A and B are shown apart, each in its own frame.
Chain A
Amino acid sequence: MKRIFKIVAALVLGGTFLSACYYDHWEAIHPTSGLVDVCPDSVSATYAAAIRFVTAQNCVSCHNSSRQDGNIVLETYDQVKSLAATTKFLNSIQRVDGSKPMPPGVGLKACEITKIQTWITNGMPN
């Protein structure tokens, strides 16, 4: 009996090690990844050209329609626009003292925040 368990254990351990072990990099599989670096000046500060890529990469994992963290969803233009009209949106991404820093942990890049600010100043074009 004991021996059987040892064999089972060895098989399962060895099995996880050897089977289905990959060394993949998403960026290598999809060099463009369909995502855009929004920082260059050539990228215009509109929702379609820039903002949606920032929110998709940094916010939607928590603020999606199934999870709805903080009762906030950021999947569509209208949703992002209505949140961006509030002060807590900029406070959160700028990590102003007393705000809830967003995204939690590693924040947005400074140039991404600048792009969002430009977008808001311009009246949040789609």
Chain B
Amino acid sequence: MACRTSILFALLLSAMSAVAQGKWAAVNEAEYDSLGRVTRTFRATRLVNLHTTELMPKGSLDFRIAHRFGAFRTKLNNLYGLDGPATIQFRLDYSITDRLTVGIGRSSYKKMGDVFIKYKWFHQKQTGMPVSVALLASTNVIMDSDPTANITGLDRYAVLSNRLVYFFHGMVSRKFGPRFSAQLSPMLVHYNLVEKLNDKNDILAIGYGARYKALDWLSVTAEYVQRTFRYSPDFRNYHNVLSLGVDLETSGHVFQVFVTNGYMINEAVVIPFTDGTWSDGNMMLGFNISRTFDVLKK
């Protein structure tokens, strides 16, 4: 497994360096803004669970709802998961500038709150810069109470710092033409407090994302989260996250529908602790919807 992973990683890296050497054809004329920057590498600021290099124009307030139904393996009796149990995330993102977005969110799993800051470092350009780069850091708070406290008399969440989880996400993307874009992301999750002596506080992962614009209003998307090293004795019981979906565009909105085994939504838990796989039927239907308001518009 480790071997396959490193080959994939090497392939992607060499693809990127080839890109950097300008071996790829320039992207279609119509896909640039007035500054020669590539636009619409992805259709939204999220692909499925992960962020993309897209940011909103200055002064946009984005209200988002992310929803994951129950697993397909619960069969027809449970309407293949549509009856639940579901997980949900509500959030508000605001773009202070074209390059800087901040956001707050709340996810039902572990009752997690989060704040993030996202910065667009580089834009892919018509000439010159071959890729777009964005960085994100978030602080996540587990707001659930300690489930074993009433039995052990020890509350692990008595101190706030034990509830905190940090997430760092680098995004490198490239639009390869009018239809195809891809993204590679190194990611780090840091838990202030873990359970067992052998558990690691830092969890390193790589995210792969891709979008294929099939029609003007429909793109096919794929996202994969690859965990890189054994951060827990339970490593094998947790799984990489695969998501396949579509971005549907309806009058200026993007509606994302997909199938994923990552039901926890928040990156700080979905990356290390996804416990179901596609092969055992633990994938579910999910969607992201968002409504953006232009708060600076007079």
Seen from chain A, the residues whose Cβ lies within 8 Å of a Cβ on chain B are 2, 5, 9, 12-13, 16-17, 20-28, 30, 33-35, 52-53, 56-57, 60-61, 64, 69-70, 75, 100, 104-106
Which residues of B are found within 8 Å of A5, using beta-carbon distances?
A: 96-97, 99-100
Q: How far is the CA of A60 from the CA of B150 in the complex (A)?
A: 10
**Closest approach, in angstroms, between the C-beta of A108 and any C-beta of chain B?**
12
Which residues of B are found within 8 Å of A53, using beta-carbon distances?
A: 151
Look across to chain B and name the residue whose beta carbon is closest to the beta carbon of A20.
Answer: B161
Which residues of A are found within 8 Å of B137, using beta-carbon distances?
A: 12-13, 16-17
Residue of B156, B193, B237 near A105 (CB, 8 A) is: B237
Q: How far is the CA of A23 from the CA of B164 in the complex (A)?
A: 11
Q: Which of B5-13, B39-47, B195-203 sits within the interface?
A: B195-203
Look across to chain B and name the residue whose beta carbon is closest to the beta carbon of A64.
Answer: B147
The size bracket of the interface on B is: 35 or more
Q: Can you report 28 A-B residue pairs in the complex whose CB atoms are below 8 A from each other?
A: A5-B99, A12-B137, A13-B117, A16-B137, A17-B137, A21-B192, A22-B201, A24-B192, A25-B194, A25-B195, A25-B197, A25-B199, A26-B194, A27-B195, A27-B197, A33-B152, A35-B148, A56-B147, A56-B151, A57-B148, A60-B147, A60-B148, A60-B151, A61-B147, A64-B147, A104-B276, A106-B237, A106-B275
Which residues of B are found within 8 Å of A100, using beta-carbon distances?
A: 74
Which residues of B are found within 8 Å of A22, using beta-carbon distances?
A: 161-162, 192-193, 201
Seen from chain B, the residues whose Cβ lies within 8 Å of a Cβ on chain A are 74, 85, 96-97, 99-100, 117, 119, 135, 137-139, 144, 147-148, 150-154, 156, 161-162, 164, 166, 168, 190, 192-197, 199, 201, 234, 237, 275-276
Given A25-B195, A105-B276, are A20 and B150 also a contact pair (CB < 8 Å)? no
How many pairs, one residue from A and one from B, have CB atoms within 8 Å of each other in the complex?
92
Look across to chain B and name the residue whose beta carbon is closest to the beta carbon of A103.
Answer: B275
Which residues of B are found within 8 Å of A33, using beta-carbon distances?
A: 152, 154
Q: A34 near B276 (CB under 8 angstroms)? A: no
Q: How far is the CA of A9 from the CA of B138 in the complex (A)?
A: 12
Residue of A12, A26, A52 near B193 (CB, 8 A) is: A26
Q: How far is the CA of A22 from the CA of B201 in the complex (A)?
A: 8
Q: How far is the CA of A34 from the CA of B99 in the complex (A)?
A: 49
Q: B97 near A24 (CB under 8 angstroms)? A: no
Q: A61 near B144 (CB under 8 angstroms)? A: yes
Residue of A2, A12, A35, A75 near B97 (CB, 8 A) is: A2
**Closest approach, in angstroms, between the C-beta of A68 and any C-beta of chain B?**
11
